[in-house]
Amino acid sequence: MRVIRRLHDDDRGAVLALYALGFIAIIGMLALTLDLGRAVAVKRDMVNGADAAALGAAQECAVARDPVAAQAVAADLTAVNRNGATVTGFSAPECEGSTLTDVRSVTVDTQVPVDYYIAPIVGFDSVNVTADAVAIYGPLAGANAVPISVNYQSLLDCLILPYDLNNPPRECTLSYPKDTLQEPRWGVLDLSEWGDRDAAPCFVSASESMDIITQGGVFPEVWLSEDGPPNWDCVDNGLSNSVWEALEGRTLIFPVIDLYGDYPAVGEGTPSEGETKHGHEECTAAPSDPLSADCQIDTMNVVMWIQLTVPPGGVTKHGDDVFVHVQWDGGAVTTSGLPGPAPDTGVYAVRLVD
């Protein structure tokens, strides 16, 4: 009877079981506090890294149009934001292309292993923390342009190849000879006649040109991708000094005109058009045109857009001729604007998709 009573009164085993349960609970709390908390912190880093990787890849696609380079940028930014993190999935199906007139996307999936400190005691050694992000990119919606034309051949002479996006920044001096009939002359486009091949002759007042330049340009709806370059516009023949001076100190988007048919968009290109000065016969400025020496160009073939900076003091005159010094920095990307269907102006927007 004493032995039975002693066994009945001995609670040491129960206390040991309670201690064991308490120890497991403490380990679980430590695992939650330390290991899970660390994984949550790593998750924040991974989200930031995935966002940066998607934005960086989208910028690379917008400017360089190179999916291999875009993926490399994504991998670099992922690793920079979190040591040991890798890109496990990358998709940029429309990254390549000579022009960009619509909205496209880049998707980046990332992962990093996180070793647990406490959880291995209860059988959990590590976890893979993942994050993904989607960025969209495209031409800057609502990008504005001024009506001052830039001759495509002049850009080539300065080694500025607008869609050769690996080109380094360049500088160039553009000439506008007032009385040389084969040249763009003063080169002021009548933007209200965009797309009308038969609109010439046209007239653009100095005050209208000044207003457009000082407000950073205009964006007529007809410039949307389906009616974008190449397309036609008529050109006026005169500008006051104040209009040229308004270009100084500004970064603006200019229409690029194909004067001689040098732009290889379709076949051998399409030269700009006009009438002979005396006989009023139809003519082009192409050297192969026997009437080109007497050709008065009044209708320009606009083949693309380009963003150029005119530094302070960048406009000079020699007699009636105007010379505009410009700086080209290649494709420009903004994260503050919205991408949208628009002409490829050389200015692009990137944005994360929530």
Angle between helices 67-81 and 37-63 in degrees, nearest 10: 150
Distance between CA atoms of 175 and 184, rounded to whole angstroms? 9
**Alpha-carbon Rg for the chain in angstroms:** 32
**201 cis-preceded (ω within 30 degrees of 0):** yes
Work out the widest C-alpha separation in the chain, in whole angstroms: 138
CA–CA dist 80, 66 (Å, integer)? 21
Residue extent(s) of CATH 3.30.1300 domains in the chain: 11-139
Mean pLDDT value of segment 242-248:
90
- pLDDT for res 20: 52
User: If you average pLDDT over every residue of the chain, what do you get?
Assistant: 80
pLDDT at residue 30, rounded to an integer: 56
**Residue length, the chain?**
354
Question: Cα dist. 48→110, 241, 257 in Å?
Answer: 11, 51, 43
CB 327 within 8 A of CB 315: no
User: Average of pLDDT values for 84-91?
Assistant: 94
Which residue blocks in the chain are alpha helix, DSSP H? 2-9, 12-30, 37-63, 67-81, 152-157, 206-214, 241-246
Contact (Cβ atoms closer than 8 angstroms) between residue 54 and residue 352: yes
Nearest to 78 by CA among 102, 105, 112, 104: 112
CB 86 within 8 A of CB 110: yes
Is the pLDDT assigned to residue 323 strictly greater than 70?
yes
Q: Is the pLDDT of residue 13 over 80?
A: no
HSE-CB of 17 using CA atoms within 13 angstroms: 4
**Residue 346: half-sphere exposure toward Cβ, Cα within 13 Å:** 24
Domain 11-139 has CATH 3.30.1300: yes
Instruction: Give bridge partners of residue 35 from the DSSP assignment.
Output: none
Point out which residues pair with 250 in neighbouring strands: 310
Q: What is the pLDDT of residues 95-114, one digit of tens each?
A: 987 778 889 999 999 999 87
Q: Of 189-198, 266-275, 335-344, where does the model show the most confidence?
A: 189-198
**Distance, CA of 233 to CA of 195 (rounded, Å):** 6
- Please enumerate in sequence order all residues whose Cβ is within 8 A of that of 187, keeping only pairs 6 or more positions apart, or say none: 148, 149, 150, 151, 176, 235, 257, 300
Residue pLDDT, tens place only, 19-72: 555 555 565 555 555 656 666 777 888 899 999 999 999 999 998 889 999 999
